[in-house]
Amino acid sequence: MTDTTLNTDWLDSIKWDADGLIPAIAQDAQTQRVLMVAWMNREALMLTAQEGRGIYWSRSRQKLWRKGEESGHVQVLHELRLDCDSDVIVMMVTQLGGIACHTGRQSCFYRVLKDGKWTVVDPVIKDPSAIYEHKHE
């Protein structure tokens, strides 16, 4: 990663949506598995680059959300990528604790369409009630 503490011109290349947000896909840097999708505003993306960890904008709480601030399951950033239309971010990360989903699973994408219904195919690694004191992230 380059030093982004002073130069933030790169943020101007992004096509933010009407709410000033961009979807961000967190992908495991080693396995390439998609772990989760969340939203970033300008500040969240800038801080993600500066701090080298996944930081998002919580639309429900209307505030910055540092992934792992409650659970300890921090996302260590390896690389940021911007798609060809400049409207989606892909983050290559190492997911500390191996759990990205508030359900206690490795990935938020744990259901597969089989025989016309969504079937859970990934196990819960850790019970969410043992992870969070309050409601999920």
Could you tell me if 22 and 40 are in contact, meaning their C-beta atoms sit under 8 angstroms apart? yes
84 among annotated binding-site residues: yes
Question: Phi then psi for 111, rounded to 5 degrees?
Answer: -115, 140
108 among annotated binding-site residues: yes
DSSP string, 45-60: HHHHHHHTB-EEEETT
For the chain, the first-to-last Cα distance in angstroms comes to 27
122 among annotated binding-site residues: no
Binding residues for Mg(2+): 83, 85, 87
Binding residues for Zn(2+): 84, 101, 108
Binding residues: 83-85, 87, 101, 108
